[in-house]
Homo-oligomer: A and B are copies of this chain.
């Protein structure tokens, strides 16, 4: 019988049905959680747990084998032992030959090449060749699979079904790294996710394929990648350069050092390339390379929430001296940003809303409202700055005074920010220097489209990245 054609990546994100081979009825176990998460994610198609010893799992009818499922199944999740994976691979091949479905396989199971054993490598090779022969595509093995918050696909035991929806698509060689980002962001709704792909050993589908797939995905506003070592770097960068014409890519590349490379290899059998080569290639492809985890998290989520700046003229609005000095130091450190020039009449107008001791424009583009600030002053000054064409972005810094309530401060800032129509908006980054004491204010601002930060230099680095990408886009559009 002839093998069917190679399946579309769509089978992962818009499957008609999902089969979970190795589903468990044991509450709290990962293999139960996968079924539960898949079920609670709002997926419109059918979910089929596969386990020969059960009739039902998590309220869903259970099937003894993959072949016994009567309805179409596009996405197969494998959470059985490595040896069993190889057996199931033959069922997948048979299904594809007989019915043409089963085009997407994600192998969550581990115990393959990453073990560093001959047996692990052999099992992986057998698994992959059987599945590839069938025309099905593979994500994994040794991964956490895929999530799509719009179609309701979730093959993981780690990404909760109520994960905040948004425009960030995460592509990661490390499942732990990607889920850490989500857990970090969770309680204050700092990031909204569209798709999530954990590649693991990355034997088939890789960054190149997924980048090409999400290039025109309307729900993906920014692509955030963790990589530690890839085979086809050139191919990936070619596709990346095409993607960055349309939307930003933020990357963190681990395995910068020999020792880091060894660690990466012990986890996913990947080989990291030369760090300087990557630096140059990222820059040329217009990919923003984050130098720290914090920069990666913050830049990714800000690209999703905030509009792109139209230029590099940034205004600082503050009530705090020291943190603003640190912010300005960082902001101008790369030479890509200048403080915005404020017109004399604009300065006069701003001053009218503030106390006499306020500093408006020393240095140019810098406004210190002083600690004697009211919510109303935030609104009025932000309104003026949002309307000013000579300002491309704003960094706002405060230690929220005890006498202004979180809700009041957030409402005042959002009123100023939203006073401008969406198409004229510019990024407003808010540094709230008070830790969890202002958690409520943070969440309100985040939900209103104003990214928040704990440290002034973090906000500055993100603003540099916004300006850098915006300049890249303008250069590319001009060319």
Q: Which A residues are closer than 8 A to B by beta carbons?
A: 28, 110-111, 115-116, 158, 172-180, 183-188, 226, 228, 252, 254-257, 259-260, 262-264, 266-268, 292-294, 316, 319-326, 328-329, 331-333, 339, 357, 359, 362-363, 366, 368, 399, 402-403, 433-437, 439, 454-458
Residues of B within 8 A of A292 (CB): 455, 457-458
Asked if residues B294 and A294 are in contact (CB atoms below 8 Å), the reply is: yes
Partner of A174, one of B174, B254, B320, B439: B320
Q: How far is the CB of A97 from chain B (nearest CB, A)?
A: 34
Nearest residue, chain B, Cβ from A297: B455
C-alpha spacing A267/B323, complex, angstroms: 11
Asked if residues B399 and A179 are in contact (CB atoms below 8 Å), the reply is: yes
C-alpha spacing A456/B457, complex, angstroms: 18
Given A187-B435, A226-B322, A434-B183, A294 and B458 touching (CB < 8 A)? yes
With contacts A228-B322, A254-B326 known, what are 5 further pairs, Cβ within 8 A?
A172-B322, A174-B323, A176-B399, A264-B322, A293-B326
20 A-B pairs within 8 Å (CB atoms) are namely: A28-B402, A158-B399, A174-B320, A174-B321, A174-B322, A176-B320, A177-B326, A183-B437, A187-B437, A188-B435, A188-B436, A226-B322, A254-B325, A259-B331, A262-B363, A264-B322, A267-B321, A293-B326, A293-B455, A293-B457
C-alpha spacing A175/B115, complex, angstroms: 53
Residues of B within 8 A of A110 (CB): 357
Partner of A259, one of B339, B399, B457: B339
Most chain B C-beta atoms within 10 Å of own C-beta, residue among A293, A362, A363, A455: A293
Copies in the complex: 2
C-alpha spacing A158/B399, complex, angstroms: 10
Residues of B within 8 A of A116 (CB): 362
Nearest residue, chain B, Cβ from A268: B321
Partner of A263, one of B255, B321, B457: B321
Asked if residues B183 and A435 are in contact (CB atoms below 8 Å), the reply is: yes
Residues of B within 8 A of A187 (CB): 435-437
Q: How far is the CB of A266 from chain B (nearest CB, A)?
A: 5
Q: How far is the CB of A124 from chain B (nearest CB, A)?
A: 15
Nearest residue, chain B, Cβ from A456: B293
Q: How far is the CB of A459 from chain B (nearest CB, A)?
A: 10
Residues of B within 8 A of A439 (CB): 436
Given A176-B322, A257-B329, A357-B115, A363 and B226 touching (CB < 8 A)? no
Asked if residues A176 and B323 are in contact (CB atoms below 8 Å), the reply is: yes
Asked if residues B435 and A324 are in contact (CB atoms below 8 Å), the reply is: no
C-alpha spacing A320/B115, complex, angstroms: 15
Partner of A254, one of B177, B257, B316, B322: B322
Nearest residue, chain B, Cβ from A363: B262
C-alpha spacing A468/B180, complex, angstroms: 29
Q: How far is the CB of A181 from chain B (nearest CB, A)?
A: 9
Partner of A111, one of B180, B357, B435, B454: B357
C-alpha spacing A357/B339, complex, angstroms: 54
Asked if residues A266 and B326 are in contact (CB atoms below 8 Å), the reply is: no
Asked if residues A325 and B260 are in contact (CB atoms below 8 Å), the reply is: yes
Given A294-B455, A357-B111, A435-B184, A177 and B263 touching (CB < 8 A)? no
Given A257-B332, A323-B176, A368-B267, A262 and B362 touching (CB < 8 A)? yes
Partner of A264, one of B321, B331, B402: B321
